[in-house]
Amino acid sequence: MPKLHSMMLTVFIIMGMSLSTPALSAFPSLWGDEPMPSLAPMLKEATPAVVNIATEGRVVEKTPLLSDPILRHFFNIPEQQERKTANLGSGVIVDADKGYILTNHHVIDKAEVIHVTLHDGRRLQAKLIGADDETDIAVIQIKAENLKALPLADSSKLQVGDFVVAIGSPFGLRQTVTSGIVSALGRSGLGIESYEDFIQTDASINPGNSGGALVNLRGELVGLNTAILGPNGGNIGIGFAIPSSMAQDIMIQLIRDGKVRRGRLGIVAQDLTPELASAFGINRNAGAVVAQVETGTPANKAGLKAGDVITHVNGHKVTGSADMRNVIGLLPVGSEVEMKILRNGKKVSAKAVIQEPERHAVKGEELSPYLAGLVFSDSEEGFVVISEASPNSRAAREGLRPGDILLSINRMPVQRVAELESAVKRSARGILINIQRGNSAFFLVLK
C-alpha cells in the first residue's frame, strides 16, 4: 500500500465534495439580449435528485483507565462508555418510484437514525437497505411522493477532459453546485477502500459532500463523490468519485440481497513489471502475473498456472493486480469469467466460474496461549483477519484489535487460517506478529 505521506499529502474520506473551475455548457440562457453559456437549465433538473443526509448514532468505547486494575477497583470506573455520534453527508435519488438513494457507506456507518432532507425542504426518516464497506457504497430508502431521480450514465465512456459538475452539501450547506473536469480515470492503490477504480477530478472537495452526485453536462450521474487528496484535509484540486457503473453493480446486489456476495477465483496475483516481462520473454507493460494458484479453486480447475500473465477478463483489459482484483471482486458468485492469458509467450484462453469463498475461523488459544482471546478468520479477499479480540486478553492489551489483517507470524507469511498452525509452531519464546491496520503496518511481540 503506497505511503502518501512522502508527498506531504493525506487521503481523506470526506463527508462531501465540491468542484470549482467554471465550465462551458450546451445550455444557453440570456444575459440581456446576448446568449450566455449556463448550466442552470441542466441543474434545474438535476439538483432535486440530490439530498442532504444527517445521521445519529451511538458508539461504545473502552475506558482508557480500564487498563489500570487499581483505579478500576477503587474508583468503580465503568469498563465501557457510550458516546453519541452525528454525521452529515449527501445522497443521490436513483429510483423515484421506490425511493432508493445511493450514498457512501461511511456517511451512514453506525447510524441508528438516518434523516434525509429533500430539495423542497421535506425531512424524512430513511431505512438502510444495505451497505458495503469494501467499496464504500450504501443504499437507503425513503417513502415520499413526487421524487426526482438522476439517470445513471455509463461511466466507462468518460474521458479525461470531460466537464463534470458536483452537487452536494459541503459543510452542511444544502444544494451547493460546483464544476470541473475529469482529471484522470482508474485511480487505485490509494488505500481509501478495498476496491478502488476512482474518477479523479480537479474538484474543490469539502466535508459534507460525500455521497453527492458527480454529473455530466446532460445531468446524468457519472460518479459518487467520496474523497480528496490534500494536506490537513484542505483542497488542492485532487478529488475522487466512485464510477456510476461500479456503484450500480453494487446497488443491485444490496437491493437484492442486502449485502454483496463476493466470489473467489483462487489466485494470488502481482503486477507485471518490466523486469518480470523481460524474464518471461514478453513484450508487454500491463497485466496481472499469477504468483500462486490455490488447489481446488476455480482458477485451479480452469488450468491457470503460476507465471501466467492475465491480460483480459471478460473483455476488460487488465492493467495490474489491483485491476484484476477489482474486476473479480465485483463479480457475484456463479459468474462465468473468460480470461485471456500469456503463457510462455503464447496466447491462451481460460474459463472459470466464480465460487462461494471458503471461509474458516480458529480460536487463538487453539494455536498458542499467547493468542488466547483472539479469533482468526479467512477473509473473502485472501488474507487472515482478526475477527474477534477479547478486551481482557493479553493480545488485546498489547494492541491487537478486531479488523486487523495478519500479514505474517514469526516472519512466515500467512494468507489462510490453515497456514497459522505451522507458523505458530516456529515460536519459542513468544510470537512475532506483523499486522496491517488501515494504511499502516507494524510488528508486535506477544510473550
Catalytic residue annotation: 106, 136, 210
Query: How distant is the alpha carbon of residue 120 from its chain centre?
Result: 31
Residue 137 neighbours by CB under 8 Å, 6+ apart: 102, 103, 104, 105, 131, 224, 242, 246, 247, 250, 251, 254
Q: Tell me how far the alpha carbon of residue 437 is from its chain's centroid.
A: 15
Q: 419 in helix, strand or coil? A: helix
Closest by CA to 250, choosing from 321, 177, 155, is 155
**CA of 412: how far to CAs of 6, 159, 422, in Å?**
28, 44, 9
Q: Which helix (H) or strand (E) holds 339?
A: strand 336-343
Helix (H, G, I), strand (E, B) or coil at 424: helix
Instruction: Pick the closest to residue 238 from 7, 23, 24 (CA basis).
Output: 7
- Give bridge partners of residue 342 from the DSSP assignment: 309, 347
Q: Is 83 exposed, middle or buried (0-12, 13-18, 19+ CB in 10 A)?
A: exposed
Q: Are 87 and 104 a contacting pair, CB within 8 Å?
A: no
Residue 27 near residue 43, CB atoms below 8 Å: no
CA–CA separation, 365 vs 425, rounded Å?
Answer: 13
Distance CA 340, CA 348 (A): 6
> Coil, helix or strand for 33?
coil
Q: DSSP for 146-194?
A: S---PPBP-GGG--TT-EEEEEE-GGG-TTEEEEEEEEEEEE--SSSSS
Task: Give DSSP secondary structure letters for 3-26.
Answer: -GGGGT-EEEE-S-----S----S
Instruction: Provide the 8-state DSSP code for 99.
Output: T
